[in-house]
């Protein structure tokens, strides 16, 4: 899995999150009060993520790639938001195509835009923990730092959603460690990888994003897009084209296995 460095937006996110380190004590209180994360899948029109009151459910530490829709299933995953400009547009494209997706949210973004987190949940999408500040060097940092990034983001996303917890954990840039995977799994968040990196964050053009999906979807079902970190108009345009195409090829849309 490639690392996605060089996005200046993350410098601002990290700066906004500097104060979060001081929340280590708060994290321990959150961990004690919140209880473990539960699993489960909601029906049509309901949230596909468990609520804060769900039963405990440790999940596998293995990095998930497969789809719960089987061999012809694909998983649309949307990273780095929510963003007030682009997340609503992505949601509309998904709605227009009757597609559910997994939104991997940065904690500070979720905290800043709780209305968008709730909108994602209301449309039946699943939530994924993408850490507090999207540090792609997390795998070089101490366990205490990794814990703060994961647990504080879990709290931020859950509070922003109104009580619906993330059920996956995607390390920024794929910077997983055995410790971070085990911690996430103990909180009911399955480590989540990807098979197709659209590289939409590089803004190669909508046609290039579409071409990448068409040529690489045979590599596996989990496709990586972004709804924040810059101008995502190309991503929105590419999704408008690629979602109907995937349906025409006989693919169905599911969630990553848990």
Residue 2, pLDDT score: 45
Name the catalytic one among 113, 130, 134, 226: 226
**Contact of 65 with 90, CB cutoff 8 Å:** no
Alpha-carbon distance 124 to 94, whole Å? Answer: 11
- What are the start-end ranges of the E strands in the chain? 73-79, 102-105, 126-129, 168-169, 190-191, 196-197, 222-226, 252-254
Residue whose pair of structure tokens reads 């990807």 in the numeric block = 194
* Residue 96 appears among annotated catalytic residues: no
Answer yes or no: 226 catalytic. yes
Among 79, 152, 197, 200, the one annotated catalytic: 79
pLDDT along the chain (258 residues), means of 10: 41 40 36 34 40 69 98 97 98 98 98 98 98 97 98 98 98 98 98 98 98 98 98 98 98 97
């Amino acid at each position: 899995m490639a690392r996605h460095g060089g996005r200046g937006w993350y410098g601002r996110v990290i700066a906004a999150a500097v104060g979060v380190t001081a929340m280590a004590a708060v994290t321990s209180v959150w961990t004690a009060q919140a209880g473990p994360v539960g699993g489960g899948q909601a029906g049509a029109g309901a949230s596909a993520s468990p609520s804060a009151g769900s039963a405990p459910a440790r999940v596998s530490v293995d990095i998930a790639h497969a789809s719960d829709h089987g061999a012809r299933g694909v998983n649309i995953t949307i990273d780095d938001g929510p963003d007030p400009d682009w997340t609503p547009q992505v949601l509309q494209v998904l709605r227009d195509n009757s597609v559910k997706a997994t939104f991997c949210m940065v904690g500070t973004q979720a905290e800043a835009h709780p209305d968008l987190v709730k909108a994602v949940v209301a449309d039946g999408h699943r939530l994924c923990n993408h850490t507090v500040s999207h540090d792609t060097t997390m795998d070089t940092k101490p366990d205490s730092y990794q814990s703060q990034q994961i647990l504080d983001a879990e709290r931020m996303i859950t509070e922003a959603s109104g009580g619906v917890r993330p059920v996956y954990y995607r390390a920024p840039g794929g910077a997983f460690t055995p410790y971070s995977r085990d911690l996430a799994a103990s909180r009911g968040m399955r480590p989540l990888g990807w098979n197709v990196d659209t590289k939409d964050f590089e803004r190669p053009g909508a046609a290039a994003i579409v071409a990448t999906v068409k040529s690489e979807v045979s590599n596996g079902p989990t496709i990586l897009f972004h709804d924040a970190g810059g101008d995502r108009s190309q991503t929105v345009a590419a999704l408008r084209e690629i979602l109907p195409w995937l349906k025409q090829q006989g693919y169905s849309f599911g969630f990553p296995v848990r």
